[in-house]
Chain A
C-alpha cells in the first residue's frame, strides 16, 4: 500500500514507545525545574562568552576578596574569580553527569537485553553484576580514577561502571516479563530473527524506564563527581568543577563561606531540578508508578 512509504525506523520505534496519556497536566514544580535546568545548562555552556576573567588566572594581590565590580562573587585563595570558576566549572560537572548517564544507560541496555533474553548468558552476566554491586560505588570509582589518572573521561568511566549494574537489572526485569507476552511468542512463531525480536519487540518496552533511570543517574553522577573532587580523587585540580571549587574552599570555609555556598547552590539546584524532571517523566511514561492521590 502506498500509504506506507518508509520502513519502521529507529525513530518510529522510539516515538511509538513513548505513549503519552491523552490528557496530562504538568504542575508548576516541573515547569519551574525545567526552566532552572535550561538556564543552568545555557549559562554554563556559553560561559566562555561572557565570564569576566579566565577561571585559571591567579592573582596574588586579589586573594579572598569580597564581591566587587570586577569580581562579582569575590575571589578564591589564589585570587581567581569565583563567578567565572563556578560558571565554567559547571561545564565539566554537567558534561560528566550527562556523559555518565548516556554511557551507563547505553551499555546497561545492551547487557540487559542480552541477559534478559539468553538464559545461559544471564547466569554469567548477573553474577558479574552482583559482584560489581557488592563493591561500594565511591570506593570503586576512586580505584578506577587512581588506575586511569584524573582526566574527565576517566572520571566518567569511573562513575559509569558502578551505575551499569543498576541499569542492567532494570532492563533485564523488563525484558523477562515482556518476553512472556504472547506477541513475542507470536513473533517467534512467525520466524522473526532473534535480533528483530530483541530490537523491535523487547527494546521499546525498556525505553520509558531507562529514560527515567537516566535522569537519576545524571543527577547522581554530578553528585559523585563532586564527592570525588572533594576527596581529591576527581578531575585534576586545575580544571574547575563544582566539586573542585568546594574542595578548595573548605579550608577557608570559616572566613569565606561563599566559596562553598555558590558552587553548592548551583549543584543543589541542578540536581533538584533533574530529579524533579525525572519524577515527572516517570509519572508521564508510566502512570502505574504514580503516587496515588489521596
Chain B
C-alpha cells in the first residue's frame, strides 16, 4: 500500500479549529500571523501541516497548546475545540491540566526538551507524578511499560540513563513515551524527525503510527518534508503566509493538487532519480585526496588515551566542472573530510592535492597562496556572514587579502552579486536584511569571488526551504557550467545528491563504503548501508514533481 487510505468520516472529531486568527501583540501595527484557519482532526487520524518556514505551522500548534509567547503573539479570533470543549476559554491552570492529560507535544530537538541532570526514567515518572496518584511500584511499572511500547532496548538500563548517554533516536523515543504515557487524545508533533538521520527518522515515523493505531490518538504532524508527508499523513493541510491554501486526503493532494502553490511546492521536491550523466572529461583532477585520515586523541592525564577515527583512508578525486557528493549520516565523517580539505582542521595523515601541490601538511604561511584555489559554503546561512559587516565588505574580504585594491574589488563584487541574482544595492546592506536563501547566494558569491578551482559545499542547501533549495542548486549548477569549478557537495540528503552530483561517495563510520556514479549508487547500490539509506528515504516510491508513482526501471 503506497499511502494510508483510511476513512475517518464516521469517527468522532478530536480537534476542531475554526476561524483561528493570531496576530502580533504589543506593537501599534498588529501583523496577522494566522488568518482564519480551519483544521479538523478525527480520532486516530494523522493530519500533516506542511508549509515553508514562516507559513505559520508552528504558531498553529502553539496556539492549540496554549503556549503562544505572551506579549508578542495573541489569538484574535476563532475557536479551538478539543472534543467539543473550547480551549481558548480555559484559564491557565485548566489549560496546564489539559496539556498533560489530553494534548501533548513532541519537539524537533529532544536534547533541549529533556532535562540534562535527571535520568530519563525519572523524567517520565515526573509526568505521572504531577497528574496521577499511583503507588511507587505501579508507577515504575507503567513507565517501564511505555518505554517498552516505544521499543527502547534494554529498558532497565535506559531507565537510569541521562539524556546525553542516549542517541538522538532514543531521546526522541523517550519524548514520545513522555507524551503518550497519560494517553492523550491529541498528539502534536512539531518536526519531530527533522534533526534525525534518515534511518532513525524512518523508525520514529513507524513508531508514531504504530502507537497511534494502538491508542487511537489524533496526531497533528508538522513538517516541511513532503517525503515524510507521503509516509505518515492521512490528510494534508498546505499552509502559506498564515493561511490554509489547500487540504485534501494525502493521495488526492499528491496526485492531483488543485492550487498553484501546492503544485509549486511539490514540483520543487528534488527527485531521487539521478541527473542525466554528463560526458566524462579526462583532464587532470582539480582535487585529489589520498588516504586522508583524521584521528582524534582523547588523552586523559591518568587513563590511557582513546582514539576516535573520524575519517580513515579516504580516497577520491574530482575533475574540473564535475560534482562529487559525499553522502552519509551524522558521525560518518563527511564534514571531517570537508574541514580537512579546507585545512580548518589538520589531517592526521594522507595527501590533499590541489592542482600540483599537496596542501595536507603545509604550515599557515605556506598554505596562504593555496587558500584562493579552494573555497567553502557552509550550512547555516544565518551564521556564515559577519552580522556587523555590509555584504560588500564580506564579498571583498578575500580579494583584499590577495592584494586587490578596494575599488577594483568592489567593482568585482558588484558583478558577482548580480551573477548570483541579487540587486547591486545589496552591497551596502547588512546580512539581517536578507532571507536565508539570499544569504546563501551571498555566501556563494563570496566563495566564487576568489575564482577557486574547487568549491566545497558543506550541507549548503540543508537549512533552506525546498523551493529555495531548488534555486540554489540551480545557481550552483549554472556557476559550474560558466566557471568550470569542481564542486565537492556534502549532504545527508540523497534527493539533493541525486539532483546535483555526477559521482557519489557514501561514507559510514569514517570509511568510504561505496564510490560510483550517482546513477549506479542510487539505482544499483552495492553496499548494504547504501541500500538501507535509500530504503529509509521517506516517500521514495513517489515522484512528487510529476504527481505519480516513481517509474520503476
Contact = CB atoms under 8 A, between A and B. Distances in A.
Interface of A: 1, 3-4, 7-8, 13, 16-17, 19, 181-183, 185-194, 196, 201, 204, 293
B398 interface: yes
Interface stretch (B224-232, B236-244, B376-384): B376-384
Interface stretch (B106-114, B192-200, B386-394): B386-394
Contact of A188 (B344, B406, B413, B446): B344
Contact of B378 (A8, A19, A186): A186
Interface stretch (B177-185, B367-375, B482-490): B367-375
Contact of A190 (B371, B380, B406): B371
B342 interface: yes
Contact of A4 (B375, B378, B406, B446): B406
Nearest to B402: A191
Contact of B446 (A8, A16, A190): A190
B371 A191 contact: yes
B344 A1 contact: no
A183 B384 contact: yes
15 contacts: A1-B392, A8-B393, A16-B388, A16-B389, A183-B384, A183-B386, A185-B342, A186-B443, A186-B446, A189-B375, A190-B375, A190-B397, A194-B364, A196-B401, A204-B388
A7 B406 contact: yes
B25 interface: no
Given A1-B414, A190-B401, A182 B378 contact: yes
A183 B443 CA distance: 9
A150 to B, nearest CB: 44
A189 B397 contact: no
Contacts of A204: 388
Nearest to A180: B383
B385 interface: yes
B428 interface: yes
A31 to B, nearest CB: 23
Contact of A183 (B71, B385, B398): B385
Minimum-distance CB pairs A-B, first 5:
A190-B398, A191-B371, A182-B378, A182-B384, A16-B388
B392 A185 contact: no
Given A186-B443, A191-B368, A191-B372, 9 more contacts: A3-B428, A4-B392, A7-B406, A19-B387, A182-B380, A182-B383, A183-B385, A185-B378, A192-B401
B376 A193 contact: no
B501 interface: no
Contacts of A293: 71
Contacts of A194: 364
A18 to B, nearest CB: 10
A223 B274 CA distance: 72
A209 B393 CA distance: 25
A189 B389 CA distance: 17
A186 B372 CA distance: 12
Contacts of B385: 183
Contacts of B375: 189-190
A254 B402 CA distance: 74
A185 B371 CA distance: 12
B410 interface: yes
A293 B71 CA distance: 10
B383 A17 contact: no
Contacts of A185: 342, 344, 376, 378
Contacts of B368: 191
B470 interface: no
B430 to A, nearest CB: 9
Contacts of B427: 1, 4
Contacts of B407: 1
Contacts of B394: 183
Contact of A191 (B387, B401, B414): B401
A1 B401 contact: no
B410 A1 contact: yes
Nearest to B70: A293
B384 A193 contact: no
A196 B401 CA distance: 10
B403 to A, nearest CB: 11
Nearest to B431: A183
B411 interface: yes
A47 B386 CA distance: 47
A204 B388 CA distance: 8
A85 B407 CA distance: 59
Nearest to B432: A19
A16 B386 CA distance: 11
A7 B396 CA distance: 12
A204 B344 CA distance: 22
B450 interface: yes
Contacts of A182: 378-380, 383-384
A189 B376 contact: yes
A100 to B, nearest CB: 29
A162 B387 CA distance: 34
Contacts of B389: 8, 16
